[in-house]
């Protein structure tokens, strides 16, 4: 039996511009699956593991800047979406999550594959909707149409994010051969017009007057997608010497005009000479712990720019929330008469340039390990490619090594290791450019089902850093001093990627030396019909020793 309002749901989404759905197999969700699969304007893919499926959808939506639909069956399938939904919520990525459910009268009756699915994602979702379970009155169909429209509008409204529609479905699930799917019947479509947020003339005057109080201004771009116009404005500000711009790798706002070696600088410089009196931020989180601690202890006033939504007090000095876009405020700063303390600007940039020279010299002389491997890999990346970074050490390594021209993508909403592979796979579905994932062994093997599907990802390149452990725990004060370090924190493991590569048909190159890595990189980015993995083997303890030596050498260099 066809449930027309479910068919209408697919039609509403398509008419509102949604083009992609990620489906996971099941019986209870059959009407939803068929509605999306049979819609001519929606591209559907099947990913069997729901946890991976949700991160694949997230990886697609990150790039498309449009919602991707998720469909799963009832029961624990829905719970497996939760990590990616939390990540999407904090990264402000639009997803529309459709979970099939048992009818309400069968909840808590020991019926198979039944859990309590209403509002299952708690506070990590923008909005949860309960779809009607019967359609005996025209008003109920009207309600179903409203839910479809509201779900898309809510997912895409600032700040974007995931929404959930729980859909109770009664048997029979499957249509008869004579049933037709009508996607063209009249359906109400409710569109929400986008509106720009601008400062009023009085707010603008107040902003400029207050700005004149400050002489040591730093701009901190948080995590965001690359945006050339924003970067152009930052570069213009930096060349005018009006502000100091400190940019993490995940901000996608790095250039030769921004400070990018702050991770190494801040532990070795006099904080008083480098402290700002005003912090202006936009975007989301930053990764650098030294930078966060420095800004928190600086005593600086903090102004954050964003059009709407809540604003965290990340640096413990939040004094002003500016309801505008970064582009508008940066343009005002470019055109302003703001005068920076010239020595403050010069001090930051001279130190950053000195650290860049010191780091390059130190790394080139360092023994082979993860640090040297990533340094060499980054020098081979195609400039127009996309770079995915797993959490724990991979993203920290790249942040440590300074500015990148490639678009940087990392799941720093919740900073988990659970979906790095899948997010990169989702990215490959949206582009023909090379997508490089740099990951550690724990994150990589944790998410191996990312590759368990039937779709081509020939533009995927993986750099797997395998030290057979969670090496980050050797550099964190606390676990690194415990006798239980290796078994209970690092969690030593003996896997390698050779069998995985064979199972999924990947090109595979194991390396244990700088010479082997250089040889492997020679044709790593040549076009191929298969994805490729370079697995870099190293020792966790040796990597930590190399890092400590590098940091010591950098401190000595800056003291000279």
> In the chain, which stretches have pLDDT less than 50?
none
Same domain, 159 and 40: yes
Query: How many CB atoms within 10 Å of residue 316?
Result: 13
Q: Are 444 and 470 in contact (CB under 8 A)?
A: no
**Domain annotation covers residue 178:** no
211 and 145 assigned to the same domain: no
Give a yes or no: residue 119 inside a domain: yes
454/505 same-domain check: yes
- DSSP H/E element including 436: strand 435-440
Q: How is residue 115 written in tokens? A: 């859990």
> Among 307, 325, 353, which residue terminates a domain?
353
385 part of a folded domain: yes
CA gap 488, 480 in Å, rounded: 11
Residue 541 lies in a domain: yes
Q: What is the rounded distance in angstroms from the CA atom of residue 359 to the CA atom of residue 353?
A: 10
Q: Is residue 71 domain-resident? A: yes
371 and 338, same structural domain?
no
The domain of 205 spans 201-353
Helix, strand or coil, per DSSP, at residue 100: strand
Best CA proximity match to 461, nearest among 517, 388, 390, 406? 388
Dihedral in degrees, nearest 10, Cα atoms 129, 135, 138, 142: 20
pLDDT value for 473: 59
Would residue 123 count as lying in a domain?
yes
**Per-residue pLDDT, 497:** 96
Asked if residue 374 and residue 299 are part of one domain, the reply reads no
How are beta strands 20-23 and 68-72 bridged, if at all? parallel
Domain count, the chain: 3
Angle between helices 30-37 and 4-15 (to 10 degrees): 40
Residue 187 counted as domain residue: no
Q: How far apart are CA 230 and CA 247, in angstroms?
A: 13
The CA distances from residue 332 to 70, 134, 204, in Å, are: 41, 55, 9
In 169-300, at which residue ranges do the beta strands (DSSP E only) sit? Answer: 217-221, 244-245, 278-282
Render pLDDT for 186-218 as a digit per residue (tens, 0 to 9): 999 999 887 777 888 898 888 888 998 999 999
Enumerate the β-bridge partners of residue 27.
Answer: none
H-state helical runs in 212-325:
228-239, 262-265, 271-274, 289-297
Same domain, 416 and 531: yes
How many Å apart are CA 282 and CA 284, to the nearest integer? 7
Coarse DSSP helix, strand, coil percentages of the chain, rounded to the nearest 5 percent: 40, 15, 45
- CATH code at position 534: 3.40.50.970
Does 435 share its domain with 329?
Answer: no
Both 164 and 214 in one domain: the answer is: no
Please tell me whether residues 344 and 403 are part of one structural domain: no
Please tell me the pTM assigned to this model: 0.93
CATH number for 264:
3.40.50.1220
Which secondary-structure segment (H or E) carries 22? Answer: strand 20-23
122 with 260, same domain?
no
pLDDT digits (tens, 9 = 90+) for 215-228: 999 999 999 999 99
- The reply to whether 148 and 211 lie within a common domain is no
Q: How far apart are CA 376 and CA 401, in angstroms?
A: 11
Same domain, 289 and 380: no
Which residue among 112, 146, 168 closes a domain?
168
- Do the domain assignments include residue 542? yes
Angle at Cα 276 formed by Cα 275 and Cα 280, nearest 5°? 140
Strand order in the sheet with 20-23: 43-46, 20-23, 68-72, 95-101, 162-168, 127-130
């Amino acid at each position: 039996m066809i449930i027309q309002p479910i068919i209408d749901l697919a039609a509403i989404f398509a008419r509102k511009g949604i083009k992609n759905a990620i489906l996971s197999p099941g019986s209870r969700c059959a009407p939803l699956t068929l509605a999306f699969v049979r819609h001519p304007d929606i591209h559907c893919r099947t990913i069997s593991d729901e946890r991976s499926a949700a991160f694949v959808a997230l990886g697609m939506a990150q790039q498309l800047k449009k919602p991707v639909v998720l469909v799963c069956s009832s029961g624990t399938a829905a719970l497996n979406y939760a990590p990616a939904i939390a990540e999407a919520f904090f990264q402000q990525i639009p997803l529309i999550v459709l979970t099939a459910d048992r009818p309400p009268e069968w909840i808590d009756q020991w019926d198979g594959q039944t859990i309590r699915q209403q509002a299952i994602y708690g506070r990590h979702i923008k909005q949860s909707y309960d779809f009607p379970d019967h359609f005996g009155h025209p008003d109920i169909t009207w309600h179903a149409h409203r839910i479809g429209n509201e779900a898309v509008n809510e997912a895409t409204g600032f700040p974007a994010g995931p929404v959930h529609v729980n859909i109770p479905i009664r048997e029979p699930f499957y249509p008869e051969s004579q049933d037709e799917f009508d996607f063209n019947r009249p359906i109400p479509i409710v569109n929400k017009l986008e509106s720009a947020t601008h400062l009023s003339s009085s707010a603008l005057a107040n902003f400029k007057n207050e700005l004149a109080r400050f002489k040591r201004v730093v701009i901190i771009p948080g995590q965001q997608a690359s945006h050339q116009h924003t970067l152009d404005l930052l570069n213009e500000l930096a060349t005018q010497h009006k502000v100091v711009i400190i940019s993490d790798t995940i901000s996608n706002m790095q250039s030769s005009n921004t400070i990018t070696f702050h991770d190494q600088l801040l532990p070795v410089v006099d904080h008083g000479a480098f402290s700002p009196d005003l912090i202006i931020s936009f975007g989301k989180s930053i990764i650098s712990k030294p930078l966060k601690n420095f800004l928190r202890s600086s005593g600086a006033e903090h102004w954050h720019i964003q059009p709407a939504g809540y604003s965290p007090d990340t640096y413990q000095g939040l004094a002003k929330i500016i309801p505008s876009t970064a582009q508008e405020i940066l343009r005002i700063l470019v055109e302003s008469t703001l005068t920076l303390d010239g020595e403050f600007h010069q001090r930051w940039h001279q130190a950053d340039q000195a650290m860049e020279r010191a780091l390059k010299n130190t790394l080139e002389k360092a023994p082979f390990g993860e640090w040297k491997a990533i340094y060499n890999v980054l020098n081979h990346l195609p400039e127009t490619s996309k770079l995915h970074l797993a959490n724990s050490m991979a993203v920290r390594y790249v942040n440590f090594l300074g500015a990148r021209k490639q678009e940087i993508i990392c799941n720093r909403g919740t900073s988990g290791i659970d979906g790095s592979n899948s997010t990169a796979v989702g990215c490959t579905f949206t582009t023909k450019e090379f997508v490089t994932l740099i990951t550690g062994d724990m994150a990589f093997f944790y998410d191996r089902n990312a590759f368990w599907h039937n779709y081509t990802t020939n533009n995927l390149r993986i750099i797997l850093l395998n030290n057979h452990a969670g090496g980050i725990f050797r550099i964190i004060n606390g676990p690194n001093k415990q006798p239980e370090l290796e078994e209970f924190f690092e969690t030593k493991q003996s896997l390698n990627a050779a069998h995985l590569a064979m199972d999924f048909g990947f090109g595979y190159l194991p390396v244990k030396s700088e010479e082997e890595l250089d040889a492997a990189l020679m044709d790593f980015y040549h076009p191929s019909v298969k994805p490729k993995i370079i697995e870099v083997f190293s020792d966790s303890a040796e990597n930590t020793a190399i890092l400590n030596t590098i940091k010591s050498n950098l401190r000595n260099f800056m003291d000279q």
